[in-house]
Structure 1
Amino acid sequence: MTTQATQAAHTAPSAQSARPAIKALPEPPDLPPPLPEPAVEEIRLETVLGALSDPLRLRIVRKLLLESERFDHTCGWFGLDRPKSSLTHHFKALREAGITRQRQYGLERRSHIRIADLDGRFPGLLDLVADWTPAER
């Protein structure tokens, strides 16, 4: 084994241990029904990747994966400086791609990541999103 291969073998496990931890919070009882979304078997990789190709949507998903304080969050929790109509469009794109699940609570919608569904369909995809480092603005 070459020195470089030996070094790579020793550095690979430490890189994985530094991975950000995805927060999968338990589903509370008595949730409102989810808004229309694709069934698990209908979630398509090209649709998911298309939705994640937008940097803002990728940031939204990453924040939900790593920083969730509750089971689901309103648009305001993200602290995004965008018009409400723009945010509505982005959250709808994530839901229709099968990445997030949204529920209506009175006048507000709250979102969370469909972690189990996405891990079942595309193992490792959410780990890649969690590992992504956003560009500085």
Structure 2
Amino acid sequence: MNFPAELKYTQDHEWIRLEADGTAVVGITDFAQHELGDIVFVDVSSVGQSLAQGDVFGSVEAVKTVSDLFLPLEGEILELNSAVEKKPELLNSDPYGDGWIIKIKPANTDFDSLLSVDAYQELVGA
């Protein structure tokens, strides 16, 4: 399983990466996509909304289940990755690359409240 060290993680299995322009990219972890199985649908109807850290910003539907997506940091949802709308299986095949889900404008950059790669690996028993 893949756990990129440059990302921060949540206990709900999302990852976040701060970009140079101050926006942040959010997706689900390799562990999450593996646990969910084949992802068939991504639903994000919160574009344009400002949400608090931990708020549900959408969901992913897999063959086995539906899982809510939780925002890692407070911020405004700027964009949904149109590629995952058309090809939700990108979440399975490339969760840290083309399978990102949203871009946000964080209200803060309180990355200290998020998990490091080591803490996340400990959480999932990797």
Structure with the largest fraction of helix: 1
> Which has the greater radius of gyration?
1
TM-score using structure 1 length? 0.30
Structure with the largest fraction of strand: 2
